Structure 1
Amino acid sequence: MKLSEIDANELSREQITKILFGNEQDNNKQGDCIFVYGGRGIERVHKAVDLYKQQRANYILFSGGLKYGKYTYPEAATMRDKALEMGIPIKAILTEELSNNTKENAISSLFTLENKFGIHTIKHLLVISVPWHYRRGMLSLKTYYPKWINYTWCPASYMKCQPDNWWQYPESYRYVMKEIANLVKFVREGQLMDIELRI
């Protein structure tokens, strides 16, 4: 079944989990850069710092702006400041501070990568976001980025929103149900590439 053909209201809990969280495991590969989707949670920064200290990549790119004016300080700058406090050198940090959502995170960060490295030199990105953002985060990159770039999914650690427990917590449940509705909506609108899924 194509993702665009899915009725989010008819999905079982297991199907929602499979679609949103995926089953991709960290393959421990090296990357040209650690790409962090926008967000306020410290968990993303912890994951990026861990990967950097494991020498998986020499640079971290934090993405995220003011969220349509919701914040007065860009998400990317907040994450950068936290990473600096954790010992990451400023020369290893890139920021993209214009974007307001996932699609904009991806597109705006493409220009940051081009300006720093030349996009033609990028072969592999380590991708960080919240666990339930796997499908939309990866589809955004695969829709808008050059086809030669490969990705390793490295979700931040959210103990109360894992594939085996997200429905047990009201806040996590709301996040996940909103995410599945948005995912299908954006695919149907053509903002994200459509894919075949076995659910």
Structure 2
Amino acid sequence: MSDTNVNLAELIGSRICHDLISPIGAITNGLELLEMVGAVQGPEMELISGSVGSAGARIRFFRVAFGSAGDQPLGRAEVTELLNDVERAGRVRLNWHLTEAVPRNQVKLAFLAMMCCESAMPFGGDVTIENTGDSWTVSGMADKLNLDNDLWKNLPSGRFANSVKPAQVQFALLPETAASMGRRIAAETTSTRVVIRF
């Protein structure tokens, strides 16, 4: 994948997320109005509301992970609020161990790395994101991991023996996006832990 292809993928990601977030927001507002007037109540409303909230959180997360990103800063409060919303809809606990604002393009790399870790934890676990100086570490821990050895072994090079499936697109994008920013990916795995550094 060339830099041009990475940029095109980012533009497509931004466009899709931009076009979807508005109707999701409108549905959320409509549900709030229905709740205020007491028009609809019960488990059905909770199911719809929870599903819409989950969809909105994932779209906002994908907008950072897959969309175009510059060096404008993202603050801790904004990132942790987003990750808390995403965490509510999944099985993985997300721990953002940064206190300062960081450039959006670096958060993008962290989110792609988080998605790689998350893919190895179908039964849940913890993903921790840390930054020391200019170095990032994203680590995932779980009692039981499900590792695709081809993806993890070849993540640093971005050249995989098998075709990358849609659910694995983060593995293809992470090394290419990092390279476009002058960074290299390192990855290591054990039976209970996966670590990505850049």
The normalised TM-score by structure 2 is 0.28
User: Which structure is richer in relative contact order (CA contacts within 8 A, separation 6 or more)?
Assistant: 1
Name the structure where strand makes up a greater proportion of residues: 2
Name the structure where helix makes up a greater proportion of residues: 2
**Structure with greater Cα Rg:** 2
The normalised TM-score by structure 1 is 0.28
